[in-house]
Amino acid sequence: PSSHPTFSLVLYNHKMRNSLQSQGRFTINTSDIDPTITLDTIRNARGDDNALQIATEDLLKRAHMHASNVPGTMPYWKSTQYEFKAINFFNSYIKKRDISLFHTGSLAEYHEYPLRHLLYKYTTALSHVDEEYSLSILNDDSVFMNAVQKYKNIVTHYLASKMELWMGLFMKPVYKVDHGVLTKEFAKTRGAIHFHSLLGQVGNECSTKLNENLQR
């Protein structure tokens, strides 16, 4: 069966579904359920198989899995959309601070030699990684790119540190940026790790004049 043209697709779907289910959150609608019932009560119902089956089926019908905490899924992006709307509405309506800039930044990772060294040091500290793989990160672009995609926790923190410096040394003094909302993403090519941000300004003369002209 492994030679069947759709076998790999079915297997991939099975692996992804199990992975998402392991990361998702289950919730149970407790309306019309005895609030004193516990899992021990259900386990101890084995003396009456019919009662156990009814209790189990009732719980399964009421259980729902949410994947809004799993990046990349549709529930995640839907949740993120509502979160962004809420933050933007609060800043605009309550604080009177509107978004005025869309700003994107990325890493030219092949030229980020400190990142190569950081990934090298990180992988050498892992017990399941070969020393040859760690060394190849320093001089082999294909291995380095594999490490960038594999150890996203390290790369994300590296980008975040550079982004904070960029915002503090350039965007704030030059464009008067003082607040914003951003997200970090990964791509499959160069510029793998990047961020998108919506930023707000205070006291920027150029933006003030532009807004005044747009309102005429």
Instruction: Compute the average pLDDT of residues 20-25.
Output: 65
Residue 76: predicted pLDDT: 74
- Dmax over CA atoms of the chain, in Å, equals 78
Q: 70-95, pLDDT tens digit by residue?
A: 666 777 777 778 888 888 888 888 88
Q: By C-alpha distance, which of 107, 183, 196, 104 is closest to 145?
A: 107
Band (pLDDT 50/70/90 cuts) for residue 132 is very high
Residue 190 has pLDDT above 60, yes or no: no
Contact 147, 119 (CB under 8 A): yes
The answer to whether 29 touches 62, Cβ cutoff 8 Å, is yes
132's tokens: 């040859």
Q: How many CB atoms lie within 10 A of CB 200?
A: 21
How is the chain split among helix, strand and coil, in percent rounded to 5? 60, 15, 25
Sign of CA dihedral 210, 212, 215, 216: negative
Average pLDDT (35-44) is 71
Band (204; pLDDT cuts 50, 70, 90)? low
pLDDT band with cut points at 50, 70 and 90 for residue 54: confident
Q: Each residue of 145-165: pLDDT tens digit?
A: 889 888 888 888 898 999 999
Tokens of 119: 């990934």
- The DSSP 8-state label assigned to residue 204 in this structure reads -
Tell me the angle at which helices 141-150 and 113-124 cross, rounded to the nearest 10 degrees.
70
Of the chain, the percentage scoring pLDDT greater than 90 comes to: 17
Q: What is the pTM of this model?
A: 0.58
